[in-house]
């Protein structure tokens, strides 16, 4: 079976084989394995919300690991290489277009996909060739994502990573104070620039995964163990979950979380302490205005 057919049989679609030399990579073949997911009709506003990209990416990760093992057993030199930078390749792929929000788009799917990369010396039956230079952005005069971004990370001059909420979520550093109140109930992920984009199909899925804030604040180690298969072990770290949950607690209006936040305000982690103290101030200020 051809390697692209094997990848499709493993659940990936589409599957694109690139010539490694064209991609300026030291492999004969670079295999791009796509997994798509549905957008939500209405993201949940309760609890701590997980963007559907992350469960999809974990399913893809496990499928790619199984595919790699199958190739190994069959003597096929093709292994996962997820350190390869994808956006420069996407910009030269005829099947994809890019937007000013830095996301890439597949026809009929839009930006709602995850890609696993396998690379090695195994040949493919058919290759997709890259254009010599990047394609222009597809956005034209559209400014919907600029207007929708809650922190102004998308501008007429380009994307400002330091303003992007996703850039700071579960990253291990204290979130700049000017961005904290915009977190809402987002544990990981933000969907604003995708939901408003006219190049994305209309949402069809149900509301995504949420977890209770009280659980994240009081039992972050247990939460990390249970969330690891859903969002990945590199993101599901106890202190990072607790720190992000503190920000969400500071944005929440009705939940009784003061006791847990007070305990976390003395936490050994500087990030957790800072976020918990900010949340307590936010909730106290909200009470003063009621």
Contacts of 178 (CB under 8 A, 6+ apart): none
Question: How far apart (Å, rounded) are the C-alpha atoms in residues 288 and 234?
Answer: 39
Q: What is the pLDDT of residue 290?
A: 47
Structural domain contains residue 154: no
Please indicate, yes or no, whether residues 14 and 106 belong to a single structural domain of this protein: yes
> What is the per-residue pLDDT across 169-221, written as a single tens digit (0 to 9) for each?
999 999 999 999 999 999 999 989 999 999 998 887 776 789 999 999 999 99
DSSP states of 119-166 as a string? EES---SS-PPPPSSPPPPS-TT--HHHHH-TT--EETTEE-GGG-HH
DSSP states of 205-262 as a string? B----EE-HHHHHH-HHHHHHHHHHHH-TTT--HHHHHHHHHHHHHH-SS---HHHHH
Question: How far apart (Å, rounded) are the C-alpha atoms in residues 208 and 225?
Answer: 19
Last residue within a domain, chosen from 84, 102, 120: 120
Pair 251, 183: CB distance under 8 Å:
yes
Phi, psi dihedral angles at 238 (to 5 degrees): -55, -50
Domain that includes residue 66, residue range: 3-120
List C-alpha distances in Å: 78 to 85, 123, 129, 228.
17, 9, 19, 26
Does residue 159 carry a pLDDT above 80? yes
Q: Crossing angle of helices 53-73/220-231, nearest 10°? A: 60
Please indicate, yes or no, whether residues 173 and 75 belong to a single structural domain of this protein: no
Question: How far apart (Å, rounded) are the C-alpha atoms in residues 115 and 147?
Answer: 28
Please indicate, yes or no, whether residues 26 and 96 belong to a single structural domain of this protein: yes
The pLDDT > 90 percentage for the chain reads 85
The kind and range of the H/E element at 58 are helix 53-73
Please, which pLDDT band fits residue 289 given cuts at 50, 70 and 90? very low
> What is the per-residue pLDDT across 124-138, written as a single tens digit (0 to 9) for each?
999 999 999 999 999
Average pLDDT on 89-97 reads 94
Number of domains in the chain: 2
The pLDDT > 70 percentage for the chain reads 96
Please indicate, yes or no, whether residues 20 and 105 belong to a single structural domain of this protein: yes
Secondary structure (3-state) at 68: helix
Number of H helices and E strands in the chain, helices first, is 12, 11
Structural domain contains residue 145: no
Structural domain contains residue 201: no
Residue with tokens 């990370």: 153
Q: What is the pLDDT of residue 255?
A: 62
Structural domain contains residue 269: yes
Structural domain contains residue 282: yes
Q: What is the pLDDT of residue 33?
A: 98
> What is the per-residue pLDDT across 18-32, written as a single tens digit (0 to 9) for each?
999 999 999 999 999
Pair 164, 151: CB distance under 8 Å:
yes
Please indicate, yes or no, whether residues 27 and 104 belong to a single structural domain of this protein: yes
Q: What is the pLDDT of residue 254?
A: 63
Does residue 287 carry a pLDDT above 70? no
Phi, psi dihedral angles at 246 (to 5 degrees): -60, -45
Pair 38, 51: CB distance under 8 Å:
no
Please indicate, yes or no, whether residues 179 and 281 belong to a single structural domain of this protein: yes
> What is the per-residue pLDDT across 40-67, written as a single tens digit (0 to 9) for each?
776 667 789 999 999 999 999 999 999 9
Q: What is the pLDDT of residue 119?
A: 98
Structural domain contains residue 152: no
Structural domain contains residue 77: yes
């Amino acid at each position: 079976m051809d390697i692209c057919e094997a990848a499709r049989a493993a659940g990936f679609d589409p599957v694109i084989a690139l010539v490694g030399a064209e991609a300026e990579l030291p492999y004969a073949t670079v295999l791009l394995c796509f997994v798509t997911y549905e957008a939500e009709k209405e993201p949940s506003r309760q609890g701590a919300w997980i963007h559907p990209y992350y469960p999809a990416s974990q399913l893809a990760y496990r499928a790619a690991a199984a595919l790699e093992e199958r190739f190994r057993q069959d003597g096929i030199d093709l292994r996962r290489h997820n350190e390869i930078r994808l956006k420069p390749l996407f910009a030269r792929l005829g099947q994809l277009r890019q937007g000013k929000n830095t996301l890439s788009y597949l026809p009929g799917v839009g930006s709602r996909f995850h890609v696993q990369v396998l690379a090695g010396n195994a040949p493919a039956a058919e290759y997709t060739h890259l254009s010599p230079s990047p394609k222009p952005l597809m956005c034209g005069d559209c400014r919907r994502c600029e207007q929708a971004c809650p922190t102004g990370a998308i501008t007429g001059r380009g994307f400002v990573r330091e303003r992007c909420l996703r850039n700071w979520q579960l990253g291990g550093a204290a979130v700049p104070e000017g961005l904290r109140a915009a977190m809402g109930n987002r544990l990981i992920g933000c969907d604003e620039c995708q939901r408003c984009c006219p190049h994305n199909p209309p949402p069809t899925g149900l509301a995504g995964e949420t977890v209770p804030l009280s659980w994240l604040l009081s039992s972050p180690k247990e939460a990390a163990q249970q969330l690891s298969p859903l969002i990945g072990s590199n993101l599901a770290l106890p202190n990072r979950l607790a720190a992000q949950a503190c920000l969400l607690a500071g944005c929440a209006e009705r939940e009784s979380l003061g006791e847990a936040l007070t305990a976390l305000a003395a936490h050994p982690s500087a990030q957790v302490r800072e976020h918990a103290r900010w949340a307590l101030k936010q909730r106290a200020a909200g009470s003063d205005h009621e």
